[in-house]
């Protein structure tokens, strides 16, 4: 059953046993203090090692890159050691794992920034309607509106690129097979790309090529560190949350797909927009992406095993990432293989907490 979805495939320099990716899923369960992955996180990921590739939850590359309390980082020695616990557990079960490298940009607040600083962004434009998750001065957690960011100086951008490189180095030392650069979902790199969140007039603003510049600088720097075969990128054309409205969404994605293909990166991961209120991707756009990107093309967004298998069978994509099904079904690949019923996830346990709703979902056996 689902022979296309369950067939092996090469992603750059890594051979994957199937085309079922575990999508990056924020679960807000990093150990405190320090936002350090723990043995509980290692158990959670190891339970899901049957995936062709596990993409870690979004992982901030610096304190400045954080917008949500209790999410893990990959910028301290303690965090690096915590991630080594996770990758060792996944590898012991025969799995493969990519670290998703994340800078939230303006989706943050002084309450969660180092020394109470303002969040940073390409331009001083607030993310209308967006919220971040903080611990308030009285110790209570809260979802609050994001703060007005300050515009990054051009002289600061090489430091941001350097933070991605340092995070990639730590991911390598922590045992990750690959890294995924998070340039989607309204966070910093997409804030540079989108026409309504980037009002710059320097080399990082204005034209499509200028707005995409920082993404390619990050990709080039990380590729130089790890090799192109160990690097993927996530994009979300037509994403419609976090105050993002990009007039050039498809042109931007196609331009970047072409540039990524020139660089030979392992995969391009497209987060489809309809779950966030955006339009469905058209067949024409999917076909254009396929022409522009020669590597592994991955789609994520409300697929079933049947629709994912059909996408791959028809040549529209090479793999499919599953999010909420993986929360509730650690043995998702085996359930697909057997045509077994899926557990339903409990949304009340998605963010924060302990083992309940995290490591206690039943497997078939």
Give the Cα separation of 192 and 173 in Å (integer): 29
- What distance lies between CA 128 and its chain's CA centroid? 22
DSSP label at residue 73: B
If we measure between CA atoms, which residue out of 34, 85, 89 comes closest to residue 60? 34
Q: Which two tokens stand for residue 91?
A: 């590898």
Q: Which residues are catalytic?
A: 187
- Residue in the structure block whose two tokens are 């992406």: 289
DSSP letter at 75? S
- Which of 247, 237, 244, 227 is CA-nearest to residue 268? 237
- Dihedrals φ, ψ of 67, to 5°? -130, 0
**3-class DSSP state of 59:** strand
What is the distance between the alpha carbons of residues 170 and 75, in angstroms, rounded to a whole number? 7
Q: What whole-number distance in Å separates Cα of residue 147 and Cα of residue 13?
A: 41
DSSP labels, 149-214: PEEPPGGGHHHHHHHHHHHHHHHHHTT-SEEEEE--TTSHHHHHHSTTT----STTSSSHHHHTHH
């Amino acid at each position: 059953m689902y022979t296309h979805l369950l067939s092996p495939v090469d992603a750059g320099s890594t051979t994957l046993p199937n085309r079922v990716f575990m999508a990056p899923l924020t679960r807000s369960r990093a150990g405190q203090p320090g936002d350090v992955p723990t043995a509980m996180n290692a158990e959670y990921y190891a339970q899901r090692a049957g995936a062709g590739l596990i993409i870690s939850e979004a992982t901030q590359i610096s304190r400045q890159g954080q917008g949500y309390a209790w999410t893990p980082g990959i910028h301290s020695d303690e965090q690096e050691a915590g991630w080594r616990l996770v990758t060792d557990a996944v590898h012991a079960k025969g799995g493969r794992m990519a670290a998703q490298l994340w800078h939230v940009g303006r989706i943050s607040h002084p309450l969660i920034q180092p020394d109470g600083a303002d969040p940073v962004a390409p331009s001083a434009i607030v993310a209308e309607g967006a919220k971040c998750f903080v611990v308030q001065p009285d110790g209570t957690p809260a979802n609050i509106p994001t703060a007005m960011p300050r515009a990054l100086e051009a002289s600061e951008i090489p430091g941001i690129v350097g933070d991605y490189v340092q995070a990639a180095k730590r991911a390598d030392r922590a045992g990750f097979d690959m890294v995924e650069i998070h340039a989607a979902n309204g966070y910093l790199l997409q804030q540079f790309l989108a026409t309504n969140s980037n009002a710059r007039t320097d080399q990082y603003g204005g034209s499509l090529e200028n707005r995409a510049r920082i993404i390619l600088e990050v990709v080039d720097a990380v590729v130089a560190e790890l090799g192109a075969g160990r690097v993927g990128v996530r994009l979300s054309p037509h994403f419609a949350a976090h105050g993002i409205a990009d007039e050039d969404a498809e042109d931007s994605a196609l331009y970047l797909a072409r540039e990524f293909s020139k660089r030979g990166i392992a995969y391009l991961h497209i987060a489809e927009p309809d779950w966030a209120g955006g339009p469905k991707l058209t067949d024409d756009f999917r076909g254009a992406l396929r022409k522009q990107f020669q590597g592994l093309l991955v789609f994520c967004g409300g697929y079933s095993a049947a629709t994912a298998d059909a996408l791959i069978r028809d040549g529209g994509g090479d793999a499919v990432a599953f999010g909420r099904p993986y929360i509730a079904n650690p043995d998702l690949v085996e359930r697909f293989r057997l045509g077994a019923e899926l557990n339903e996830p409990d949304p009340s346990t998605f963010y924060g907490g302990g083992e309940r709703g995290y490591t206690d979902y039943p497997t078939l056996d």
